[in-house]
Chains A and B, each alone.
Chain A
């Protein structure tokens, strides 16, 4: 039976929603693709037509939230922010969009966006990384800096970024305030490094 593009989109959306609630309820590690397909009332093979693995599925979820966060950042930016402030705004907007996935984002990023991997193990992770870095590059360009792909600056930024996410995923402070401090500090460190001087804050 052929299914329409619209129905495909609906199925995909449904799988993501069901998986998100299963990850929250029983934990990312304990949730299997069988659990997800059963809860979606579909065959496991059908699920694989949409997502080849649990990791890809979860990474897609995270990547979509990151994209939503970046959209929110674009709406929120006033255009008068300093470099540090703007980078802060970008990451903070992403973190806010990622909140529903916070408790299990660690293992998802480990498999989908590791700093050790030359390329992320799934296209969704790699795409999310590229999209995020493109936004960072645009911010830097607006402040007269250039972010050269594969440069040390990119590695530094990406390490800081993943470090922030790692800290955030386990942050027990109210509203993850400690992560806000870390984020602020990290963006200042990055700005100092690329400018070779004190940033305007």
Chain B
């Protein structure tokens, strides 16, 4: 590990997770946190972004900033770390060395010690880990934004991964969002304030739901059924060993993305896993009518036998039937390039009564963004996700939308964007080339033909 990061981790591990808003606001007043606040505003929406902030120019300065930010995020954890994970998915705004640092954030967050874990187990399941399991690794092997994961073995020998939530996360998230609310107050007179505020409330709801591991287990089971018979493996959960804050699931052996790429895989393997990751996203989108909002490398396992492990089902957003219909109409308009219908969609998306009320500059940008999003679908045959021109265009569009800072959209748009950007960045890093159009359209048709069949 990088020596600077190593020191940073040691320091962080000695800090309590601060959960009072006062402490957190104070943290946010530090040098590190000013950077953190800037990044948060990237993720929430664009209004906080000072123009010169886009000039995170020299690579050296960026690295330093990221390490400082990393320190703060490790400390604040909770929702702030979520934002860190989100940003790691954006090669469009961050260069590779920054991504690598954020990856260590995903996998190497400061751990809870074993005495603390024992208390969580006693509170949640009434027994100590070593009473429940035949064996239990005291050291975590992975960390997530809201918890850490340990290897264990059930009495029958089954290998399991046990996710344990950090204490007091509910209040941590509550206070993170309170802080964001305070930061937002500085722009409360701007028209965009109420839309930004709505986005924050929506994100809070999604992140708060992520605290309930039983709900995650239920959604995980649903996805297990959804991907049965494919090369995507969703781990089985074990209800007798799970609670709201402890989730025991089947252990899936394999590599995360950096280790997979480190072994210099061939193009065929890159395409294969790119296809599987895409299938995971697209199928859950069409069949469950949900956006999987946590598409980052830490949630996929590249298994030696060619299967893809699909992990972590805490962070998702489900469409209402009405919103799903809007989405379906918009997809149709996108593929047929029907500009009038697209304008109607944009008006609905941005809470306007008619397309005439729309800001022409925003409409023009959205048309280009839509074009960028659908081009892997409208391009027949293999699509090269690592194509320099495609990636550069995405970067340009993203920058433009940051400058425009338009926040008057419904919250689903944010989650969809997050999922799409997450997907494109993973495809880019994998260097995948495959027929995405076919996969997407088959899944779309498959979902329509299964309409009315019993819910998964």
Q: Taking beta carbons and an 8 Å cutoff, which residues of A are in contact with B?
A: 76, 81-82, 84-86, 88-89, 92, 96, 173-175, 177-178, 180-182, 184-185, 188, 192, 198-199, 201
Contacts and interface: CB of A to CB of B under 8 A. Distances in A.
Contact of B167 (A81, A89, A181, A198): A181
13 contacts: A81-B115, A89-B118, A96-B122, A177-B123, A177-B167, A178-B19, A178-B167, A180-B120, A180-B168, A182-B16, A184-B116, A192-B14, A199-B14
A85 to B, nearest CB: 4
B378 interface: no
Tell me which of B10, B116, B120, B171 has the highest count of chain A C-beta atoms within 10 A of its own C-beta: B116
A85 B114 contact: yes
A88 B10 CA distance: 19
Interface in B9-43: 10-11, 13-17, 19
Nearest to B110: A201
B116 A180 contact: yes
B31 to A, nearest CB: 21
A88 B167 contact: no
B279 to A, nearest CB: 38
Contacts of B16: 181-182, 184-185, 188
Contacts of B118: 76, 89, 92
B115 A201 contact: no
Contact of A178 (B10, B120, B122, B171): B171
Which bracket fits the contact residues of B?
20 to 34
Contacts of B124: 175
Contacts of A92: 115, 118-119
Given A178-B171, A199-B14, 19 more contacts: A81-B114, A82-B113, A86-B115, A88-B115, A89-B115, A92-B118, A173-B170, A173-B171, A178-B19, A178-B167, A180-B116, A180-B120, A180-B167, A181-B16, A181-B17, A181-B168, A184-B16, A188-B14, A188-B15
A193 B451 CA distance: 64
Closest 7 CB pairs of A and B: A185-B16, A175-B123, A177-B167, A89-B115, A177-B168, A180-B167, A85-B115
Nearest to A82: B113
Nearest to B16: A185
Contacts of A180: 116, 119-120, 167-168
B112 to A, nearest CB: 8
Contacts of A175: 123-124
